[in-house]
């Protein structure tokens, strides 16, 4: 089966600009996650979707970050305006059943550099 | 906030030796998972151990869980150069939520 797809793989922007990332999860996976991974750290959950509804966005900086998952399939994560501290890898992951401890499948990530 | 803390932060061994990484966490969990991340790549799931399990094996991997000490260890036997990667433990605390909290990771280097 095809894995989790993300684009772009790399993005360089200046601070105060906006940027968007796209994720297409594995077909049939109802749950989709966006993580932020700063260099040298583990991934930190930003937002979790179940189909097209938000399950958890407690760590999403809502003044500048937004995410949507229209139709419960692919998803976009947007940052507007970007700050220097947003430089990180943004990982998308998915899995298919809520309530069962299944592994998460990760995409390759988008490396964002804010200058 | 990070739930798990991996120890050591970095480990360098010779090919063929065994590698042991430890993970400690703070609150009660439903299960604990280990993931591997190669440089510039996404994370790959290695193994899941439930809170009522004490040990689990998968190929050259052996994971132990001690809920009384809130700790887990990952042992990789007969290491290979391809095992060079960062290893993360992740805990699932809330039943049904499928929300993982990752540690800082251990960077493992296997020298040929």
Between A42, A95, A103, which is nearest B102 by CB? Answer: A42
* Structure-token match 């305006």, residue found: A81
Which residues in chain A show pLDDT less than 50? none
pLDDT at res. A99:
53
Between B41, B44, B92, which is nearest A101 by CB? Answer: B92
Peptide bond into B8 cis (omega under 30): yes
pLDDT at res. B1:
47
Two structure tokens written together for A97: 């059943």
- CB A74, CB A24: distance < 8 Å: yes
DSSP symbol at A86: G
pLDDT at res. B35:
97
CB-CB neighbors (< 8 A) of B4 in chain A: 42
**What is the rounded CA–CA span in Å between residue B32 and residue B25?**
10
Mean pLDDT by 10 residues, chain B (112 residues): 76 97 92 93 94 96 97 98 96 75 95 93
Q: Kindly give, in sequence order, each residue whose CB lies less than 8 Å from that of residue B94, ignoring residues fewer than 6 positions away.
A: B30
Q: What is the Cα B27 distance to its own chain's centre?
A: 17
- CB A103, CB B100: distance < 8 Å: no
CB-CB neighbors (< 8 A) of B97 in chain A: 55-56, 98
Q: What's the Cα-to-Cα distance from B106 to each of A28, B35, B37, B83, rounded to whole Å?
A: 32, 11, 10, 12
**What is the rounded CA–CA span in Å between residue B68 and residue A56?**
29
Query: How do B106-111 and B10-14 pair as beta strands?
Result: parallel
pLDDT at res. A20:
98
pLDDT at res. A19:
98
Q: In sequence order, what E strands does chain A have? A: 5-7, 10-13, 19-24, 31-37, 44-50, 53-56, 65-68, 75-79, 88-95, 105-106, 110-114
pLDDT at res. A107:
97
């Amino acid at each position: 089966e095809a894995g989790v797809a993300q684009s772009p793989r790399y993005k360089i922007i200046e601070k105060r600009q906006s940027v968007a990332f796209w994720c297409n999860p594995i077909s049939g996976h109802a749950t989709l996650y966006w993580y932020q991974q700063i260099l040298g750290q583990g991934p930190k959950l930003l937002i979790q979707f179940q189909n097209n509804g938000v399950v958890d966005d407690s760590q999403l900086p809502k003044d500048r970050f937004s995410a949507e998952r229209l139709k419960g399939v692919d998803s976009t994560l947007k940052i507007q305006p970007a700050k220097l501290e947003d430089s990180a890898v943004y990982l998308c992951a998915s899995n298919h059943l809520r309530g069962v401890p299944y592994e998460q499948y990760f995409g390759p990530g988008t490396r964002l550099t804010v200058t | 906030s990070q739930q798990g803390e991996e120890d050591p932060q970095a480990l360098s061994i010779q090919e063929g030796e065994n590698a042991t990484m430890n993970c400690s966490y703070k609150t009660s969990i439903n299960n604990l998972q280990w993931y591997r991340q190669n440089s510039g790549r996404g994370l790959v799931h290695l193994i899941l151990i439930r809170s009522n399990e004490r040990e689990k094996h998968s190929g050259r991997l052996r994971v132990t869980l001690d809920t009384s000490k809130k700790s887990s260890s990952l042992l990789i036997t007969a290491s290979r150069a391809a095992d060079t990667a960062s290893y993360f433990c992740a805990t699932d605390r809330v039943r049904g939520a499928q929300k993982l909290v990752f540690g800082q990771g251990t960077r493992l280097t296997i020298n040929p």
